[in-house]
Structure 1
């Protein structure tokens, strides 16, 4: 947007010395290192997680073996071990119960009476047929292709 002229002034003050071009790559725009960009965008996340977990494990084992802990006598008593195992089992059982409950809640929205599922499928197929008629081309079976930007643009032209 250009600035509006004030009090009949028709000239605009544009500084042409400023470079407004943008860089072509993320690295040039952001100034980050190649390693960081590769790690965040291209690296296999499973391997990165495995390497980080291994490093933490090795660091923990090294610290435990090198630095003697003043808690060793307390941790070796039977009462402390029983309390820790009891707390861990309680946390695991509670966590599993929550995960299963939330999973069932999410899936219960998708699982319904067969008649409702059939109606949803028929409505979807009717819409696809209607879109085929308007566009004059067969609709692809893949939902992402069916909802691609250029198809949506053409459907919006027909005010669907």
Structure 2
């Protein structure tokens, strides 16, 4: 299903946290949420903190669950309509989108010196990363390191080449897929690299020769292509992910509403509960978990979508995640996110 990620873990999160936020199968995450919820309810019941014998309380709970389930389904369907609205466009707009994608692919092919850019997202970004690495190595070779300014440029080129090489290796070992392409490059801080390169180019304009300046410009242009390509794949992934989520929530909506109604109907007998009070928790808790299933699935998908969006929110030389000091730090701190 394209859920698993290959390659080493990167980024500031621990392996478990990253698995929960990004790499883990969304159905397993949702099942985990439901399992924890069930254990909490069972523990509270065993400790006599909550009970299932009061008819009015359970009826209020059932009514609230029905209303909540309708709200979740309605919200997700609304999101799906927003996604669909992007698919409807006039022929001129569709041709403009196509021309933009084809122009991007042609620019990447030219920078990477290949006949045609790959169609697969991971392969395409791997080609761009290889081009970034080559440009960074070339930039380092043009610098003589005879003064402090040239040493800063050399350090910048070395750091970018190492970061691009690591990203290229991860992409080379990965399976093809849109999410893999986004996930494996989510920690690549191209915005910081573009900012640092622009800083060096403007601050040390008089201290670097023409060949170095051209090599630096070529590197920055290639980094910008990577930024646009990853943003394009991120948009494609988000549209597919949210469309898939809306379909799954719709599937779960009817069972959830039926479970909520069944919870209230358990108290429809004249004498109260239609089941023995001793087994009421074993019957009602699973029904509650069925009601919670759309919300659990929604939470699992939103965790990943929100993480991807936050980590790839910057476009171009914008660094919203941290403050960057002028000077050497701006030149060399290009691998952290």
Compute the TM-score of the two structures, normalised by the length of structure 2: 0.28
Higher relative contact order (CA 8 A, sep 6+): 2
Q: Which structure's residues are more often helix, by fraction?
A: 2
